[in-house]
């Protein structure tokens, strides 16, 4: 495998900054997509509630109500998670000084050289890494609702 040339630290910081900007834009588009998907979910719930007492040979109203209601319930934590991740990207990878520090630290570790750590950056990195290990309430709610919703949707299609 060909070895990648080691570039200037500032070039690396600029490259990471561009990637962070792209990632942030993609997360914003994802949040907009989740909100747009809420429209048909709300319509499904509305139709189910409007026609709840209408005769039907299949339990369509119940199926629509569950799909619409649970999907709308998932929308809120999904947007919260996406906004949190976008903020995290902007605060860490969007911070040129922090990225420059991380590049220099990684290079020193690769070269087995001594690196003097800066407590301010280390605390910021610990805070970011520590928050990834603890799932939030929104994360837990998403995990608990997604699989049963998928099973419910598949059972309605079959």
Tens of pLDDT, residues 10-49: 777 777 777 777 888 888 888 888 889 899 989 988 998 8
pLDDT tens, residue by residue, 64-84: 888 888 888 888 888 888 888
Structure token digits, residue 133: 């290990």
pLDDT at 95: 75
* Residues shown for the chain: 158
106-151 pLDDT, tens digit each? 788 777 887 788 777 777 777 766 655 667 788 788 788 888 888 8
* Closest C-alpha to 20, from 138, 102, 80: 102
**pLDDT at position 8 over 80:** no
- For residue 158, pLDDT over 70 is answered with no
Split at pLDDT 50, 70, 90, the class of 1 is very low
Q: What is the pLDDT of residues 41-63, one digit of tens each?
A: 899 889 988 888 888 777 788 88
- Per-residue pLDDT, 39: 92
Domain ranges of the chain: 9-157
In 10 A of CB 64, how many CB atoms? 21
Instruction: pLDDT band for 157, please (50, 70, 90 cuts).
Output: low
Distances (CA, A) of 143 to 2, 7, 125, 131, 154: 41, 41, 26, 17, 18
Helix 60-92, helix 9-50: angle, nearest 10: 160
Residue 130: predicted pLDDT: 62
């Amino acid at each position: 495998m060909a070895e990648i040339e080691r570039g200037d630290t500032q070039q690396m910081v600029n490259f990471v900054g561009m990637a962070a900007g792209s990632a942030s834009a993609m997360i914003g588009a994802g949040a907009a997509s989740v909100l747009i998907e809420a429209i048909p979910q709300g319509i499904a719930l509305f139709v189910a509630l409007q026609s709840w007492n209408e005769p039907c040979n299949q339990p369509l109203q119940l199926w629509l109500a569950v799909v619409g209601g649970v999907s709308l319930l998932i929308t809120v934590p999904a947007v919260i998670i996406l906004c949190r991740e976008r903020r995290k990207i902007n605060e860490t990878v969007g911070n040129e000084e922090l990225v420059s520090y991380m590049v220099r630290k990684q290079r020193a570790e690769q070269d087995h050289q001594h690196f003097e750590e800066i407590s301010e950056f280390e605390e910021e990195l610990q805070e970011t890494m520590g928050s990834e290990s603890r799932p939030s309430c929104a994360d837990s709610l998403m995990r608990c609702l997604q699989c049963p919703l998928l099973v419910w949707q598949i059972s309605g299609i079959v």
